[in-house]
Chain A
Amino acid sequence: MKLLSRSEELLINAIMKLKDNAYCNPIRDTLKEVTGKTWAFGAIFTSLDRLEKKGLIESYLGEATPERGGRKKRYYRITPEGFRELEEIRKIDKAMWGSLPDYSYQK
C-alpha cells in the first residue's frame, strides 16, 4: 500500500480547504499559516506536479490578471482517487493515535 507523504497530505488538505481558489499562491499562504514555515516555490511546484501525475489532483486553467504579467492561473481540485487516499491516511492516523492510551502526558 502506498501512503501519502506528510507534505502531500498537507497540500491536498490545503486544496480542499481553498475550494475554488486553490492555485499556487493561496496554497502557499495556507501552508505557511498552518506550518509557520515558508515553502519554496520549487517544493510546491514539484509536489503538485507529482500529485497530478499520480492522479490524486487535477488542474485547470483559470483567468489571467495584470499582477501575474498576464499569465493564467492554474487551479487545482481533488479527484475521487485523491479523496480516497486522504480518507485512507486519516483512517490510519486515527487508528494509530487512537490505540495510544494517553498522549497528553508531557512529562
Chain B
Amino acid sequence: MTTETQNRRKPPRPAERILRWIYPDGTGLYTYLGDIEEAFNEKFENRGVIYANIWYWSVVLVSLPSFLTSTIFGSAAMVKNYLKILYRNILKQKLYSIINITGLAIGITCCIFILAYLNYELSYDRYHENSDNIYRVCSTGNFGGTDFVNSTSNPIVGMALFDDIPEVVNYTRIQRTARMPVRFGEKRFYISRIFYADQSFLDIFSFRMIKGDRTTALTDPNTVVITEDMAARYFGDEDPLNKVIEIADNSYFTVTGVIQNVPENSHFLFTMLLSFETQISQNPQMFTKATPNWGRWTNYTYILLEEGYDYRQLDLKINDWAQQFVGPIKDQANIIITFFLQPLTSIHLNSDLRRELRVNGSIGYIYAFALTAAFILLIACINFMNLSTARSSKRAREVGMRKVFGAYKRQLIAQFLGESFLYTLISLVLAMIMIELLEPLIKVNFNSNISVNYTEIPVLAGGVAFILIFVGFFAGSYPAFFLSKFNSINVLKGNLNTGARHSSFRKILVTSQFAISICLIVGTGIILNQVKYMKNIDLGFNKEQLLILPASGSSPLIIETAKNEMLNIPGVIKAAKSNVVPGRRPPGYGVFPEGHEGTSAFMMEQINIEPDFLDTYQMEIAEGRGFSEEMITDTSTAFLVNETAVEQFGWTDPIGKKINSFGREYTVIGVLKDFHQQSLHYRIEGTLFRYFPHSSRFRGLPYGYITLKVSTENITGTMQKIEDKYRELYPDREYSYFFLDENYDMQYAAEDKLSQVIELFTGLAIFIGCLGLFGLASFTAQQRTREIGIRKVLGSTISEVTILLYREFIILIVIAVTIAWPLTYFFMNGWIQSFAYQSMIGISVFIFGALLAVLIALVTVSYQSIKAAMTNPVDTLRYE
C-alpha cells in the first residue's frame, strides 16, 4: 500500500473528530472508533471513496442528537417531557410569560441597535487598504504659555519626514478651502469641501477612481479630481474628463479624474480635489525645505508608515528630529512647536483638536451608549431571574417529584437552563421581528447609516449569539441552581420556605434595577439641563432673526453692492459683512501686544467686521468705541479686542495700546464684551477685530458672509424679496442662505442626539423594569393573600393593608437611591467637565429622578396591592 492510498483511506476528519470526542482516546471506548474505521475501509474498497465518506458522516450524524441529549439531560426521552412541561407552564402563567418574553425582547432589540450603531462608529476610515498604517501629523504650538493643539501642520513637515525617516513610505497634504462658487458653462453652484491635495493622496488613500489615471491625476497644476456626485451635477451624462471648470472667479481647472463619493464614515468629506501643485506653482519658495513659511499651519499632513512599524517609535523621536526646523522659531519668536502622530482609525472617536476637518464623534458617547445597552439587558435579565425564582414555589412540587423519580441534580439544572434558553430564543426571534419593523424608523430619526444586516456585519451576528448564550445562561442560572437544590422530602411535605432565604436575593435584584433606573433618569435630566443651558445662555449677542448669505469667493465690491441692495428691502433692518459668523472658528494669527515685545507671540483669533456688525449682532462695547466710517485710520491701523484678549495681555488700560501684527502696528480703539463665537464646548478665545475698506485689494478675503437682520413681520415675504433681489443681481449664481440661530445650534447636534437616544433608552429601561415589578408585585400579593385575609378579619383597613404591601418596595427604593445618586454624580460630573461652560448639577434633578422612580414604582405596584387588599377575606380563607 502506497502512502498515498493510505492517506486517502482516512475517514473525513471533522466527522472523526466528533467521534473522538464521543469516544475519547485512553478510555476503553476508543476501540469502537477502530470498528467504525474498519467498516469504513471495507466500504471504501467495495463502493468507493464518496460512498464511504457519506456513510461515515451518516454514522456520526445519526448518533449525534441522541448522544447530545443523553449527555445533557441524562436521557433523550426526558426532553419531550421537559418541553411539554415548559409549554404548559407558559400557557398556565400567561402574564409572567408575556412579561418575561417582551421584557427580554425589548432589551435585546435595544442592544442590537446599539451594537449596529457602535459598529458603524468604529468603522470610520477603516475602508482604506492601508488604514492601519496611515497617520496624521498634528502639531502643538505654545504661544505665550497657551497651548494650541492643531490637527494641522506645516506644508514641509511631511516632505521632510519622508526624506529623513526611512520608515515613512509616503506622505500627502490636504488643505481645505472656503465654500467657493464653481462654474461649468451655465451651471454655477456654491460648493463646499473643496480640498487641495497632493498626487500621493490618491496613492495613500484607497478611494476608487472611476475615470482618469490615478497615478497622474493630480501631478500637474490646475487639475481637479471630482466626486461622482459633482460629475453628475455638472456634467450629467457627458464625459467630465479634460473639461475645464472655473473655481472662484477666474481660476480654471481641468478635470483629470472622477473619484467615488467619499463614504459617510470618514473623518473628512470632500467634493473636489484640486492639485496641490497649483499652490506650489504659484508660490514655490513657500513649499521648499530651504525657505519654509512658518506662518502657515493650515495643511493636514498624512504619512504612510512601513507595514509593522510601531508609530510610537516615530512619535518618540519626531520632536528631536524636528529641532532643525522648529529650533530657530523658538530662538526667534519664543514659540515652542511640537509634533505628534495620530493613527487614522482613531481620529473619528478620539480626536478633538483645533481645525478638525469634520466634527468628530466621541469615544465617551460610545461608552455611554454601550453602558446603556448593557444596563437595559441587565434589567431584562434581572426581571427574568426575579420572576423565575419568585415562581419557584409553583415548580417546587414538580422538582420534588422529579427527584423522587430519580432525576439527577444536573438533569434539573439542565432542564431549567434549557427553559431559560428557550425563553431567550423566543425573545430573540421577537426582537428580530421588532428590529425589522423599527429599522426604517431608526434610520430616519437617528442615523441613516445604521444597518442591521447580520450576514454583512459579523459583529452583529456574534453579538446576537453572545446575547443568546449570555442571557440564556445568566438569566437562567440562578433559578436553575436554586430550584435544583430543593430538598424533595420537605418540598413534598408542603414545607417550602422560598420566601425568607431567597427573597433577600430577589430584593438585591430589584434594588439594582431601581438603582439603574434612577441613574438613567437623573443622567437624562442632567444632559437635558446642560443642553438647555447651552441653548439659552446669554451668548453676548442676539442670534435671532439673523439671515446669513454666504458670499465667499466674490470680490469685496460685489459683496458690498449686494449688501447695500439688500438693505433697501423693507423687511431688512440691518446688514453687515464679516469673514466668519458665530458658530465657526475664526482664523488665528500670532501677534505681539504692547508690553510683550520681543517675547512669545500671542495666538489671537481674528474677525473682520464693519461698523454695522456690532449693531446687527447687538454686541456691546465695554470700553472705547467701535469702528466708524468717518475715521480713515480705522480701516488701516485700528483693532477692536475682546475682554479675554485684554485679560491675556494683562492690560489694565487697553484703549490706545499698540499691537504688532505681521510687522505693522495697530492701535486698540475699543474693547468688546466677550461673546461666544463658538459653542459652549469651547472657551472664549482672545479675539481681534479688524475693519477692511470696501476697496480692499484682497479677493475672497476679507469678507465671506453677509448678515441680514430681518424684521419679524412678514418674514416669508421678506425672504422672498431677498431671494428675488439676489437672483436679479447675480443671475448666474446659486442662491443659498441659512439662519444663524439654527446653524449655531447645530453645534449641539451630538448632545441633542445623545439626549434623544438616552431619553428613549431610559424610557425603555423603566418600562422593562416596571414589567418586572408588576409581575413581582402580583406575585407577592398572591403569596400573602392568606395573611391579608387574616389581617382583614382582625380589623385591618384596606389602606393599612395597601401600605403594608407598599412598604417592602419603598425600602428597596430608598436603598437604590443611596446607591444611584453618588454613582450618577460621579459619571455625569465627568461628562459635564467636557464643556468649557457648565450648567450646575443641582440637587433638584436628583430628587426629581428619585421621586419619579418612586412614583412609577408605586403606580405599578398599586394595581396588584389594592386588588389584594380589597379581596373579600372569605374568598381567601375559605380553603383552610
Contact = CB atoms under 8 A, between A and B. Distances in A.
Interface of A: 23-25, 28, 40-42, 45, 61, 64-74
A65 B35 CA distance: 11
A41 B63 contact: yes
Contacts of B6: 66
Contact of A71 (B33, B63, B66): B33
A43 B59 CA distance: 12
Interface stretch (B36-44, B416-424, B772-780): B36-44
Contact of A72 (B31, B39, B59, B63): B31
A24 B62 contact: no
Contact of B59 (A41, A65, A70, A71): A41
A28, A40, A61, A66: most-surrounded residue (chain B CB, <10 A): A66
Given A40-B62, A41-B59, A42-B63, A68 B37 contact: yes
Given A41-B63, A42-B63, A73 B31 contact: yes
Nearest to B11: A69
Nearest to B33: A71
A56 to B, nearest CB: 17
Contact of A68 (B34, B59, B62): B34
Given A41-B59, A42-B63, A67 B35 contact: no
B30 to A, nearest CB: 6
Interface string B35-61: 111110110000000000000000100
A67 B32 contact: no
A44 to B, nearest CB: 9
Interface of B: 1, 6, 9-11, 28, 30-39, 41-42, 59, 62-63, 66
Contacts of B42: 25, 67
Chain B interface secondary structure, helix, strand, loop or mixed?
A: helix
B31 A67 contact: no
B33 A69 contact: yes
A25, A65, A70, A71: most-surrounded residue (chain B CB, <10 A): A71
A67 B1 CA distance: 11
A64 B32 contact: no
B63 A68 contact: no
Contact of B31 (A28, A40, A66, A71): A71
B35 A23 contact: yes
Nearest to A69: B37
Across the A-B interface, the 5 shortest Cβ-Cβ residue pairs: A71-B34, A68-B34, A24-B35, A74-B31, A67-B41
11 contacts: A25-B38, A41-B36, A41-B63, A42-B62, A45-B32, A61-B31, A69-B11, A71-B37, A72-B34, A73-B31, A74-B31
B416 to A, nearest CB: 28
A25 B39 contact: yes
B32 A41 contact: yes
Contacts of A66: 1, 6
Nearest to B41: A67
A25, A61, A68: most-surrounded residue (chain B CB, <10 A): A68
B34 A73 contact: yes
B35 A25 contact: yes
A24 B32 contact: yes
Nearest to B1: A66
Contacts of A74: 28, 31-32, 35
A67 B41 CA distance: 6
A71 B31 CA distance: 6
A32 to B, nearest CB: 11
Contacts of A40: 62-63
A34 to B, nearest CB: 18
Chain A interface secondary structure, helix, strand, loop or mixed?
A: mixed
A65 B1 CA distance: 13
B30 A71 contact: yes
Contacts of A64: 34
Contacts of B11: 69
A23 B33 CA distance: 13
A44 B35 CA distance: 11
Contact of B38 (A42, A61, A68): A68
Given A42-B66, A67-B42, A68-B34, 12 more contacts: A24-B31, A25-B39, A41-B32, A66-B1, A66-B6, A67-B41, A69-B34, A71-B33, A71-B34, A71-B37, A73-B35, A74-B32
Contacts of A28: 39
A68 B9 CA distance: 10
Nearest to B9: A67
Contacts of A61: 31
Contacts of B39: 25, 28, 41
A67 B38 contact: yes
A74 B10 CA distance: 21
Contacts of B34: 64, 68-73
Contacts of A41: 32, 35-36, 39, 59, 63
A74 B38 CA distance: 13
A48 B39 CA distance: 18
Nearest to B37: A69
Contacts of A25: 35, 38-39, 42
B704 to A, nearest CB: 81
A42 B58 CA distance: 12
Nearest to B36: A41
A39 to B, nearest CB: 11
Nearest to B45: A67
Contacts of B38: 25, 65, 67-68
A67 B63 contact: no
A28 to B, nearest CB: 8
A97 B640 CA distance: 124
Contacts of B30: 71
A71 B62 CA distance: 23
B33 to A, nearest CB: 6
A63 B62 CA distance: 29
Contacts of B33: 69, 71
Nearest to A74: B31
Contacts of B66: 42
Nearest to A71: B34
B70 to A, nearest CB: 10
A64 B30 CA distance: 12
A67 B6 CA distance: 9
Nearest to A72: B31
Contacts of A23: 35
B44 to A, nearest CB: 9
A63 to B, nearest CB: 11
Contacts of A65: 38
Nearest to B16: A69
B9, B35, B39: most-surrounded residue (chain A CB, <10 A): B35
A65 B30 CA distance: 14
A84 B301 CA distance: 94
Contacts of B32: 24, 41, 45, 74
Contacts of B36: 41
A25 B42 CA distance: 10
A65 B38 CA distance: 9
A91 B60 CA distance: 40
A94 to B, nearest CB: 34
Contacts of B35: 23-25, 41, 68, 73-74
Nearest to B6: A66
Contacts of B41: 67-68
B28, B31, B36, B41: most-surrounded residue (chain A CB, <10 A): B31
Contacts of A45: 32
A102 to B, nearest CB: 42
Contacts of A71: 30-31, 33-34, 37
A67 B37 contact: yes
A69 B34 CA distance: 6
B759 to A, nearest CB: 58
Contacts of B59: 41
Contacts of B31: 24, 61, 71-74
A13 to B, nearest CB: 19
Nearest to B31: A74
